Amino acid sequence: MPVRPTLRQQLLRRKPLHTFTTESESESDGGGGLRRSIGPFQLTMIGVGATIGTGIFFLLGSAVPEAGPAVVVSFALAATAAALTALCYAELASAVPVSGSSYSYAYATLGEFAAWAVGWCLLLEYAVSGAAIAVSWGQYLNDFTERLFGFRMPEAISAPPGAGGLINLPGVVLVGLCCLLLVRGAKESAAFNTAMVLVKLAVLALFVVVGITGFDAGHFQPFAPLGVAGIGTASATVFFAFIGLDAVSTAGEEVRDPRRTLPLAIVGALVVVTLTYILVAVVGVGAQPWTAFEGQQAGLSDILATVTGAGWPAVLLSAGAVLSIVSVTLVVLYGQSRILYTMGRDGMLPAAFRRVSPRTGTPVFSTLLTGAFVAVLAAVFPLDLLADLTSMGTLAAFAVVSLGVMILRRTAPDLDRGFRVPGYPVVPLLSLLACGYLIYELPLGTYLLFGGWLGLALAVYLSYSRRHSRLQAAADTAPEQAPA
């Protein structure tokens, strides 16, 4: 009989690197896997669409009062911190080009339970944050329809639960429509997302073009009225506007030439997002005194109203915010369903999660279950309490990726990598430190909630996943080794 691995061995066992690509290739060749239908430009737009959400439309109202005109430095610092992690993602995505994102990277470097825990962290990053994004769609939709038609939906069905709303119907409708599109096919979803992102970027470009007509260099004096501390505080505020670049790595099995395309798309999305944010920040601060940002509720719309004195910019920017939520929700659901698909293939979740429709090439069960979960959260649960918990899960996943780069450099130095992190090992170390600093800044209650979340993950792993893991199945069928 085969020798049963101990619990410690089960927790720490790693998935062999060669199995990642062989499994995905065998399933694809057999017609039961995901299809490679996404090109480099569409993949870049997935990263941009997941990152540029409604935050940039309203972020200056909270960030500028913290740093003054030096908020442009805060954006540059936040972009640098995001770039450190993005480069680590680019290396691992090119080395392990599968759909599991940091879950798969952890499985290859830190072991099975670490991978399972990261999978639960990704559930926070994608599903919970996706619900928080979708639930705000009703508010932005109301803002847009009121500006254009003078019409608003009742607060009971459009406001967030716990903030005047009873059940958030627009959020449910949005999630349902995104799920239908995702079930139809990855290629169609990527094309739709690309269109939405291009419109969103055009709206922000309009802000830059119109806002620059009211640009006054005198608004940058004094440049840093709140000192270095204010710049650092604002950097932490705007850093989370860069979260979403990792969504590119969830498309590892649906993109053509992944070892080359994945790192290009991650870096390309980072460049587009950074340039967009810094341009918007520079023009925004140049258009009005930094003291005027305090209390502005309409964000960029208020700034353009200051410049033009007309209401039409508010309508266009409100439309941009509505489209931002659509594209972010679509990519969030896409990423979560692919992660669940990979976990199902590894046996960590029931086999239904790995099933792919032979007609559309999409994991229908994973997509619909993700959509149902997000829709329920968006419909009835107050999500403001989970904001910091989502940040903790995201940062934990980021830290694992940074650590994974260093581990794989030691354990698999000859592994085929389409991209290598420049400045190794300084870049992954700095990325790890940046994640650690932001985690340290989170409140104590978040640590307690996160501990409970990981405790639940351990309970599910011990009761189901460790026994059904494909690595466990391989151990059960392996011949007994003779004693040395």
Tell me if 122 sits within 8 A of 311, measured CB to CB.
no
CATH number of 36-465: 1.20.1740.10
Model confidence band, residue 210 (pLDDT cutoffs 50, 70, 90):
confident
Q: Which residues contact 173 (CB under 8 A, 6 or more apart)?
A: none
| Rounded Cα gap, residues 335 and 172, in angstroms | 18
Q: Is 275 helix (H, G, I), strand (E, B) or coil?
A: helix
The count of other CB atoms within 10 Å of the CB of residue 440 is 8
Listed by start position, the domains of the chain span 36-465
What is the residue type of 96? V
| Rounded Cα gap, residues 352 and 460, in angstroms | 17
Is residue 180 predicted with pLDDT exceeding 80? Answer: yes
pLDDT tens by residue, 23-44: 766 665 555 678 888 999 999 9
Please report, to the nearest 10 degrees, the dihedral formed by the alpha carbons of residues 186, 192, 197, 198 taken in order: 130
What is the residue type of 37? S
DSSP 6: P
Q: Is 359 helix (H, G, I), strand (E, B) or coil?
A: coil
Type and span of the H or E element at 220: none
- The pTM for the full model equals 0.91
| Tokens 């993109």, located at residue | 255
pLDDT tens by residue, 310-329: 667 778 888 888 888 899 99
pLDDT at 304: 77
pLDDT at 58: 78
| Rounded Cα gap, residues 151 and 144, in angstroms | 9
Tell me if 171 sits within 8 A of 372, measured CB to CB.
no
Alpha helices in 2-70 (DSSP H): 7-12, 17-29, 40-51, 55-58, 60-67
